[in-house]
Amino acid sequence: MPIANCILSSSVAQSGDHPSDLIAKWRHHSGVDTSEMTVTVVRAEQQMGKEYKAICTLHLPSVWSPKSVDLLQVGLAKAISEQFELKVADVIVMTSIIQSGHVVEGGEVVSW
């Protein structure tokens, strides 16, 4: 259940790559299976204050080891930067660890 939501600055150019390539790039950079990965990418209308070209939130279940969390976070930042031709320094990833029972999918509480 790695789920990422990324907001791109309106100044970021459209990617010439196919959208599904982003998941493959995330897998490549993280070394993690893609079967449960989800990425949503939207564009910001406006961004005030310190500018980031991409602001991503990553939601992970608490079953991931600290090393795997690091790989997924860094892999997402690299995949976003590669997909949209950004410097990795222009991408911020903020990670939330989700505890068992704090997810509802298909109308059912999910536990792990």
Please write the tens of the pLDDT for every residue from 15-74: 877 888 999 999 999 999 888 899 999 999 999 999 999 999 999 999 999 999 999 999
pLDDT of 14 > 90? The answer is no
pLDDT of amino acid 18: 83
Whether the Cβ atoms of residue 46 and residue 83 lie closer than 8 Å to each other: no
Pick the CATH number of 3-110 from 3.30.429.10, 1.20.120.350, 2.90.10.10, 3.40.50.2000: 3.30.429.10
Amino acid at residue number 73: Q
79: exposed, middle or buried (Cβ count in 10 Å: 0-12, 13-18, 19+): buried
Please tell me the pTM assigned to this model: 0.92
